[in-house]
Amino acid sequence: MKTLALLLAFTVSALAAEAPLAWLPSRTAIIVCDMWDLHHCKNAVTREVEMAPRMNEVLEKARKDGVLIIHAPSSCMKPYEGTPARERAKSAPTAARLPDKIAEWCKQIPAEEMAVYPLDQTDGGEDDDLAEHAAWAKVLAAKGLNPRAPWTKQIDVLRIDQDKDAISDSGVEIWNLLEARNIDNVILMGVHLNMCVSGRPFGLRQMAKNGKHVVLMRDLTDTMYNPARWPFVSHSRGTELFVAHVEKRICPTITS
């Protein structure tokens, strides 16, 4: 029987560790978090566009192997209403075990309570040059979009297989899907790690605290972090620091 060969990275008592693991594709789902078509931060869009082709390759391979792909572009369900993939998510039967507050954001789990949060993201994490950011906002407004929330759908580079995939931004719907298919293993990828990927109702924290075997695909994610804020490191280093926080406090990580 074919399995997915994973190498988990995690931290135990401040020591980094790795461990091999094999998951059955039929018991595994990938959740693609908020890979929107547009974003208010121009640099975030640039990094997402760079990431998307590799992400699509991973999704195509996983789908072929039998993994359920769940596309979760939050606040963008309207373009997908009535499609088979959207209906697949909506029609999943209500789970017998529906966790409390699975419909809500989760900003912290107990393992994080004593930890120092690794990044100052109080400015929203935008790292654009101010002039470029202002120009980008004008471009978005000229398209009739809200410059603060311009996303309308998932980025087109990521193919949605209407015969196999699901589309949802609901923690309840996604949990129902997982339970209906006896899926215990979940891989999260997408953006942004220190916000949506960790905190959404279908994010890392909710999956971890409610008993799923969840991992982050760390080379297919990004953060919203401004190097002008603490700890005053590069954007890429900021992402590394948050990945380390995830490995120590939330769940293991893997690479594609």
> For residue range 195-252, what is the model confidence (pLDDT) as tens digits?
999 999 999 999 999 999 999 999 999 999 999 999 999 999 999 999 999 999 999 9
What's the pLDDT score for residue 76? 99
State the fold for domain 4-18+28-254. Answer: Rossmann fold (3.40.50)
Give a three-class secondary structure readout of the chain: CCCEEEEEEEEECCEEEEEEEEECHHHEEEEEECCECCCCCHHHHHHHHHHHHHHHHHHHHHHHHCCEEEEECCCCCHHHCCCHHHHHHHCCCCCCCCCCCCCCCCCCCHHHCCCCCCCCCCCCCCCCCHHHHHHHHHHHHHCCCCCCCCCCCECCCCCCCCCCCEECCCHHHHHHHHHHCCCCEEEEEEECHHHHHHHCCCCHHHHHHCCCEEEEEEEEEECCCCCCCCCCCCHHHHHHHHHHHHHHHCCCEECC
pTM above 0.85, yes or no: yes
Q: pLDDT digit string (tens) for 6-53?
A: 998 888 666 677 888 899 999 999 999 999 999 999 999 999 999 999
Could you report the per-residue pLDDT of 44-58, keeping only the tens digit for each?
Answer: 999 999 999 999 999
Q: Where are the domains of the chain?
A: 4-18+28-254
